[in-house]
Structure formats: structure tokens, C-alpha cells
Structure 1
Amino acid sequence: MKLQGRISLSVGWITLFLMGTDLFVVSPLLPFISEVYKVSASTTGWMVTVFAVTYAFSAPCFGWLSDIKERRTLITFGLLLFAISNMLTAFSPSFLWLIVSRILAGLSVASITPLIYAIIGDTAPPNRRGTWLSIVVSGHLTALWAGAPIGMLLEHFLGWRSVFVVMAIIGAVLAAVNFKTWESIPKNGLTRNLLEGNLLRILGSVSVTTIWAISMYTLYVYLGAALYSKNKFSSSEIALAVAFYGVGAVLGSLTSGQLTDKFGEEKISKVTLILLILILICLGIFFSSGDWIYFFLLFIWALVGYAGFTSYQARLAVEYPKERGIVMAWNNTALYIGITIGSMIGGYVISNWGYSSLPYVCSVAAIVSFVLSTQKVQEAKKDSAFSTDT
């Protein structure tokens, strides 16, 4: 790999690690924020909700803009807005301003995360695209088990406001770094409507990610509660379980990139979905098993699940070369929609059938995702054959 490639990947990785930290660190900080602003825990939870909703609705707009304008400009703008929004979160004079700051944060991350995926897809060598994407995805996932704990350490010694101040400073520095790193990437210069005739196809493709997210997050959102209720895990054991999951997610993403480049995006995404179905069934069977068996299963679940997510992102990057920005943005929106639906389904399942039913419901979602993925492959082949004939 050339020096410029290493620099691009490093900048992409660090940027997505920061975005992931901002996403994952807020939830554990909510009790401290709630105490300062004298609001209930459920009210404080709106910080997470408004962030997610803003991200989901604004990401496709930034993706579309990035396909007709310069991605570098939008990423730089996003990082500057990220710095401002996090500084406002740290020093909001009221809870209303705190909510406004998280709306701005959601807007900023929506203009960064999918565009980093897209610009890496633009710059990666065709035979290394899967590996490059897997590396930057691992930055986002590393925040799950490393970024959030680092934030909690800062909170312990300096208070919760320091977490957002530090992220704001790093965001401002990264704005300059990203502006310099991507200066050699030309504008697309396209003026035609990139969505013309493609919107339904794009939505169909990213629906696979929505169902995949349901298969992962219907259980993950309630994992801590499930382990405490059914397996009597202590808080430290729950933290260890999440760590096993986080490490599995990172390794799955990194491994997937190399396998994708070797065997192809389509094959790896299909194989990982089949394995995901089997792992989820095993999670259900061994739901109340001993600690180490369950830790191992959580590790394998994340390993296989996120390997599938990374390979499918690489597949989308190949299938939509000219619409890469908006497709990556829609795929991230699909991810957030899936997480939201998954949490709602999980709540319903717990109320009616209990925690032990969650893995089986997730396995059904994984089966649906596999069927949709296979159908999209067949449609793509038909389109390719039609284009060749004409």
C-alpha cells in the first residue's frame, strides 16, 4: 500500500472512530446529564432519539449532494459543525439547548459518516475496495468497546462536559486534516439526476441492511437486561459480554474485507447471512448457559454479523459506482431505521414471550434478509444481461 493510501485509511479510521464515540458514549452519560438539568431519565433519552432521527432523515440529502458536488467540502463542513455542536452540548444553558445541540450533532455526523465510506470507495483500488472499507468500518466499531469506555474515564476524572469538549477539539483538528487529505479527489461534476430510474432499486438494495439491523439489534438493545434477568449476570459480567461482542464486531469487519476481495462481495455477504441464521438459533438454544459459552457465542455472533455488514457495503459500492455517496447515505439511514424497528420489536417480544424468544425472532429476520439479498443479486444479473443485449 502506498503512503497516500495509508494516510487516507488512517484519516478515515480516526474520523469514524470519533463519530462512533459520539454515538456510543452519550447513553452511559445520561444519568449524569439528567442530574445536572433536573430532568427524568426518560426525558434525557431524547438526546439519543433526536440525534438518530436527524441523522436518518438528513444523511440521504448529504449523500445526494456529495455525488454532484465535492465530498471533501461536505466532510469538512460536517466536522466543523460537529465541533460546534459538541461544544454546545458541553455548555448548554438549558435542556432545550442541549436537545438543539444533539440535533446539530446528528446533522453533522450525517454529513461525515456515509461520505467517508463513499470517498474511501472512490479512492480504493478496485481489487482492494473490500479491505479498505472494512478498515474504516472497524474504526466506527472500535468506538463501541474502546471509545465509550475512554469517555467514561474522562467523565470519572473531569466530569461529563469534558467528554464533549475533547470531542469538539478533535473534530476541529480533523476538519483541517480531512480538508488536506482529500484535496486530490476531483469533483464528480455530474449534473444529471442520479436518482432517475434508480430510487426504487436503491431502496430495495438498502432494505437488506434494514432487515439485517433488525436481526442484530432486536436482541442487542436488550442484551444487558436479558443477561441480568435470565442469566443473573453481574454488571462486570455484562460489561465483559459487551466487550466480547465489540471485539468480535471489529475482527469480523476486518476479516470480511480480505475475504471479500478474495472471493467476491456477493458470495461473502450470502455466506455470512447463512452463518448468522445458525448462530442466532444457537444463541436461543444456549440462552441460559454458562458464562463462557455465552461469551463465545456473543463473539461469534458479532464476528459473523458485522462481516456480513461490511461485505454488503462493499457490494453496494461496486453496484452503484456513480451513486456511491447517496447509496452509502441511504444504507446508513436503513441501518438506523432497522435499529429503531428492532428495538420496538424487541420490546414487544419481551412483553409477550420473554427474553429467551429474542434470538429466534432475530433468526427469522436474518432469513428474510438473506432472501432479499438473493433476490437483489438475481435482479442485478438480469439488469446486467439486459444492458449487454441492448
Structure 2
Amino acid sequence: MATLKEGKGRLFIGWLTLFLIGTDLFVVSPLLPFIASDVKMSIASTGWMVTVFSITYAVCAPIMGWLSEKSGRRFCIVLGLFLFSLANGLTALSPSFTWLMLSRLLAGISVAAVTPLIYAIISDIAPPKRRGSWLAVVISGHLTALCLGAPMGTILEQFFGWRSVFLILAAIGMVMMGVNGWVWKTVSPISNALKRTKGTRIPGIYVAVSVTAIWAIAMYAVYVYLGTGLYEENHFTSSQMAWAVSFYGLGAVTGSLSSGWLTDRFGAIRVSNTCLLLLFVALLSLGLIFTKSWLVFIFLYLWAFVGYAGFASYQARLAEEYHESRGSIMAWNNTAMYAGITLGSYIGGTLLNHVGFTSLLYISSGMAFFGFILGRFRKKSREGLR
């Protein structure tokens, strides 16, 4: 059994791995205008980079979960990071739109092999009384990519072009492949949670995780095209967009980390429901002030804060309600999130062409309100996944 010191070292590697994965996901939005110009496609069409990535993740995550039971978590994480490096290398070298889409499909497979297993491993190795805080820390690695990784990528584009961003991600992915192969060599291939969930009943899961899917639609229908909105409606430069994404990312990280204290004090159900209601208010307010100069930065922070505080607290709610099948419900919840990202990016791209970015904010606020209603009135699970 690993010592606490060893566990913290592994926690840091898990955090670093998800920071890399998150950077790959979140850096696409601010780079979309430049990628679209290079491959001579519309911005809405280029937004399919996110759609293809998310569809592939949602489809492949259960398959990778099955493969991890057969071949071991370490094998799947190492394989995933190898594919991650290959995918980003292909993205950087893509000569056409078709190759660009194929590279993001491969990226979706790679992330499906890595992200759920990092969450599962950290949950297993965490001290029982600190499992929630350890999960919050590793989740923050994914979100820190919003305020550090994505802005750094935007700045790199300004000096070396967008292709340089994906080349660097590919190189770091190869390094992390070796590091993860060494760190997780003593981790068991199958968690106790997965063993307990074989043959389980799952209809209740669909309603539970649908709240996350709706949340993801509301968030990512806007976020995927945030760079486009700032570029076209506010005429932001690359540097200004980097600052805007930094404010959003800072809100996401502080919101996620703050949710732990808020949830402990007020309860996961109350916090998650309140945050969904505030998400509705934040998106509506952002639509009203979007072209009002510096106010945009403040509301980007508030939007991300309540959005990701709600996501983290809802995960805590699911962990409480499905305590006997924590690993399984987290896997389903992540699949729901990426399914929501898929729908959100598609809906966002379609609406952007027809109604514009500001109207997209109003429509997404309505989705957030629908998520609040569903989360507020759905019944609490009493049976778990049995």
C-alpha cells in the first residue's frame, strides 16, 4: 500500500496529466478563427473539431473501461497518452480539413483512455476521509488548463502560429506517457467499485447524469465559440482573448475548489441546484453586457465560477447518492459531460450562423434553467446501481 507521501506524488502526476488533457480540449476555442483561416473553412465548420472529439470520447469511454479491466489501467493510460501525442502531431501537420477531423477523432479516443481512469485511480488511492478533496484537486488540473494552458496556447499562436501549440502538446504527451507508465506500475487493474457494479440496473443513471449533460450543453455551446464572439463582436486581439480566457479559467478553478467548502457547509444538493440557477443568471447577464468593454472580463469570471462550482458539487451529490458504485457513476457522468459538449458544440455552431453570439448566450441561459428544474425535482437515488 502506498504511503501518504507517495500518494501525494501520484496525485500531482494525475493533476499534471489532466492539465495536459484539458489544455488540448480548451485551447481549440480561442484558436478556431486562426485554424479556420488556415484551412479555408468557416469557423462554424471548424468547430466540428470539438464535436468530433466529444462524440468519439462519449462512444469510446465505455470501451476503454472494458479494455482496462482486461489489460490493466496502466496499459490503457500509457496507450492513451501515446495516441494523444500522435493525434496532436497529426493536428499540427494536417494539410486539410479532413485530416484535421481525423486527428481530433484520434484525440477523442486517447482522452477516453486516460481521463476516467485517472479519476478512478485517484479515488482509490486517496485517504478515505479526504477522497472528496483529492478528487477536487485532480479535477482542478483539468480546469487550470483554462486559465493557464489555453491562454499560453493563444500567446504561442501569436508568435509561432497555431500549429506550434499542437506540436508542443504532442511532445509533452510523450514525456507524460513515460512518467505515467512508471508511476502507475503498482496500481491494480480493476477497482472494487467496478467489480460491484457488474450486472447492475442503470435506468436511474440516465436521469441523474442528464443534469450534467444539460449543464455541458449550456456551458460549451457558448465556450466553444467564445473566441469567435470576442473576435467578431468585440474585435479582440490575440492578447485580449488570452486575458478573457484567463479570467474564465480563473473562475472555473476557484469555483471548482470553492465548491468543496460550500458543499461541506450547505450540502451537495443545495449547492448544485443553486449554482445551476446562478448559471442561468450569469449567462443571461453576460448576453446583456457582452459588448460593454471591461465588464466582459468580470462576467466571464462569474459565469465560469458558478458553472464549475455547480459541476463539482453535482459530482459530490452523485458520489453520495451512489456511494456503493462511485467509480461507475463517475464514468457515466463524464460520458454525459462529453455527450453534452458534443451537442453543445453542434447547437452553438448552428445557432451562431443564424442568430449570432449574443442570442446564443440567451438560449444557453434557458438550457441552464432547464437543468436547474431537472436537478431540483429529480428524486434522490436510494438504491445506487443495484
Interval of TM-score (by shorter of Structure 1 and Structure 2): 0.7 to 0.9
The offset of 1:302, in angstroms, is 0.8
SS at match of 2:10: helix
> Is the contact between residue 255 and residue 304 of structure 2 (CA under 8 Å) also seen in structure 1?
yes
Indicate the residue corresponding to 2:150 in structure 1: 148
Change (3 A) 1:226 1:187: closer
Give yes or no for the alignment of 1:249 onto 2:248: no
Indicate the residue corresponding to 2:140 in structure 1: 138
Q: How does 1:233-382 map onto structure 2 within 5 Å?
A: 234-235=236-237, 237-284=240-287, 286-287=288-289, 290-321=292-323, 323-346=325-348, 355-376=357-378, 378-381=379-382
> Is the contact between residue 30 and residue 41 of structure 1 (CA under 8 Å) also seen in structure 2?
no
CA distance in 1: counterparts of 2:197 and 2:182, whole angstroms: 28
SS at match of 1:111: helix
Larger displacement relative to structure 2 (236-245 or 351-360):
351-360
The offset of 1:53, in angstroms, is 2.1
For 1:25, which of 21, 27, 30 is the aligned residue? Answer: 27
> Is the contact between residue 247 and residue 299 of structure 1 (CA under 8 Å) also seen in structure 2?
yes
Amino acid at match of 1:182: W
Change (3 A) 1:144 1:215: same
For 2:187, which of 185, 188, 202 is the aligned residue? Answer: 185
> Is the contact between residue 33 and residue 160 of structure 1 (CA under 8 Å) also seen in structure 2?
yes
Change (3 A) 1:255 1:64: farther
CA distance in 1: counterparts of 2:356 and 2:36, whole angstroms: 30
SS at match of 1:185: coil
The offset of 1:362, in angstroms, is 2.9
Larger displacement relative to structure 2 (314-323 or 266-275):
314-323
1:13-54 deviation line (CA, Å, top 9, x unaligned) = 110111112223345556666677x65356655544432221
Amino acid at match of 1:122: D
For 1:15, which of 14, 17, 28 is the aligned residue? Answer: 17
> Is the contact between residue 29 and residue 227 of structure 2 (CA under 8 Å) also seen in structure 1?
no
Indicate the residue corresponding to 1:114 in structure 2: 116
> Is the contact between residue 32 and residue 227 of structure 2 (CA under 8 Å) also seen in structure 1?
no
Q: How does 1:72-87 map onto structure 2 within 5 Å?
A: 72-87=74-89
SS at match of 1:186: coil
SS at match of 1:175: helix
Backbone CA RMSD of aligned residues = 3.5
Indicate the residue corresponding to 2:208 in structure 1: 205
1:184-229 deviation line (CA, Å, top 9, x unaligned) = 4333377979363433222222111111112223333444555566
> Is the contact between residue 151 and residue 245 of structure 2 (CA under 8 Å) also seen in structure 1?
no
Amino acid at match of 1:380: S
The offset of 1:140, in angstroms, is 1.4
> Is the contact between residue 249 and residue 303 of structure 1 (CA under 8 Å) also seen in structure 2?
yes
Amino acid at match of 1:364: G
Larger displacement relative to structure 2 (361-370 or 319-328):
319-328
CA distance in 2: counterparts of 1:305 and 1:174, whole angstroms: 29
The offset of 1:10, in angstroms, is 1.0
> Is the contact between residue 269 and residue 314 of structure 2 (CA under 8 Å) also seen in structure 1?
yes
1:274-332 deviation line (CA, Å, top 9, x unaligned) = 33233334435x43674343422221121111011112223334444565444333322
Change (3 A) 1:243 1:159: closer
Amino acid at match of 1:163: V
The offset of 1:12, in angstroms, is 1.2
The offset of 1:349, in angstroms, is 5.5
CA distance in 2: counterparts of 1:159 and 1:226, whole angstroms: 21
Larger displacement relative to structure 2 (177-186 or 76-85):
177-186
SS at match of 1:112: helix
Give yes or no for the alignment of 1:214 onto 2:217: yes
Runs of 5+ in structure 2 lacking a partner? none
The offset of 1:342, in angstroms, is 3.0
The offset of 1:169, in angstroms, is 2.7
Amino acid at match of 1:304: V
Give yes or no for the alignment of 1:104 onto 2:98: no
Larger displacement relative to structure 2 (107-116 or 197-206):
197-206
CA distance in 2: counterparts of 1:87 and 1:133, whole angstroms: 30
> Is the contact between residue 61 and residue 326 of structure 1 (CA under 8 Å) also seen in structure 2?
no
Indicate the residue corresponding to 2:8 in structure 1: 6
Indicate the residue corresponding to 1:56 in structure 2: 58
1:114-150 deviation line (CA, Å, top 9, x unaligned) = 2212222222233323322222222112222321232
* Higher-Rg member (1/2): 1
Runs of 5+ in structure 1 lacking a partner? none
Change (3 A) 1:293 1:168: closer
Change (3 A) 1:99 1:211: closer
1:343-369 deviation line (CA, Å, top 9, x unaligned) = 444456567766544444333322322
Change (3 A) 1:94 1:136: same
Amino acid at match of 1:219: V
CA distance in 2: counterparts of 1:195 and 1:138, whole angstroms: 30
Change (3 A) 1:364 1:161: closer
Amino acid at match of 1:366: A
Matched pairs, number: 380
CA distance in 2: counterparts of 1:352 and 1:95, whole angstroms: 23
CA distance in 2: counterparts of 1:332 and 1:5, whole angstroms: 24
State, as a whole percentage, how many aligned pairs show the same letter.
53
CA distance in 2: counterparts of 1:11 and 1:153, whole angstroms: 25
SS at match of 1:171: helix
